[in-house]
Amino acid sequence: MSLKKLKVVVLISGSGSNLQAFIDRAEELNIIIKAVVSNVEGAYGLERAKNSGISAITLPHGNFASREDFDIALAKEIDKHQSDLIILAGFMRILSADFVQQFTDKIINIHPSLLPKYKGLNTHQRAIDAKDEFHGASVHLVTAELDDGPVIIQGKLPIQTNDTAESLQQRIHTLEHQIYPQAVKWISSGAIQIKKGKIIETKLLDRLVTI
């Protein structure tokens, strides 16, 4: 029996290299990317979408009077696509509690740290400054708290003595392109289920990838 393709909308603000990983592996992941929405005009990820024939929508947040107004417009856009899953891939906007509630159990994000460490920005530099042995990335369910929802999968790698924030960020990106599609594959295949804010494994999974 073939599973129905998962309909996804990807939200971006920038380069969209994680988006590209989903575009490249959509078939294998059993997803269909219905639309890409950016809150930043000219974000390169929009080009990536267009190049693959995916509907690319710009919703500049500056055009809205408040966060709530922007989120209402964003929700309307997402609703048009009846998506099963909303993938935040470098989407640099805090979502209002109302938005998150409207799409409970349907929004996932990738954050470049080994959560719960280093929520927020500049995670690579913070990990270097703290002389951490390891750094990584986490795919998590989005809740009303920033970078706080339950973790689906983490990727971890050693920080090298000569690492700069840039070199570390580059290696973390490569790791992100492995773990984010993996998380989506688990969702689309039913290997994990998300219910009432909880991640439920339906079979034993290796949820920590170390490279």
Is 108 within 8 Å of 96 (Cβ atoms)? no
Taking CB under 6 A as the binding criterion, the range among 10-18, 23-31, 60-68, 97-105 that sits at the site for ligand GRF is 10-18
| Among residues 6, 8, 9, 16, the one that binds ligand GRF under rule CB under 6 A | 16
Active site residue 81: no
By CB under 6 A, residue 153 contacts ligand GRF:
no
User: How far is residue 176's CA from residue 40's CA, in Å, rounded to a whole number?
Assistant: 22
Number of residues lying near ligand GRF (CB under 6 A): 15
* C-alpha to C-alpha distances, 208 to 23, 30, 87, 157, 175, nearest whole angstrom: 24, 22, 20, 11, 11
Note whether 33 binds ligand GRF by CB under 6 A.
no
Shortest spacing between CB 14 and ligand GRF, in angstroms: 4
Q: Does 155 bind ligand GRF (CB under 6 A)?
A: no
| Residue 110 binds to ligand GRF (criterion: CB under 6 A) | yes
CB 57 within 8 A of CB 71: no
Q: Does 6 bind ligand GRF (CB under 6 A)?
A: no
Measured CA to CA, the distance from residue 49 to residue 189 in angstroms comes to 24
Q: Is 25 in the site for ligand GRF (CB under 6 A)?
A: no
Assess 52 for contact with ligand GRF (CB under 6 A). no
Question: Does the footprint of ligand GRF cover residue 46 (CB under 6 A)?
Answer: no
16 token code pair: 């969209």
149 near ligand GRF (CB under 6 A): no
Catalytic residue among 61, 81, 111, 135: 111
Q: Does residue 90 interact with ligand GRF by CB under 6 A?
A: yes
Residues of span 159-178 touching ligand GRF by CB under 6 A: 173, 176
- For the record, the structure tokens of 205 come out as 């999974």
Residues identified as active-site: 111
Binding region for ligand GRF (CB under 6 A): 12, 14-19, 89-90, 110-112, 137, 173, 176
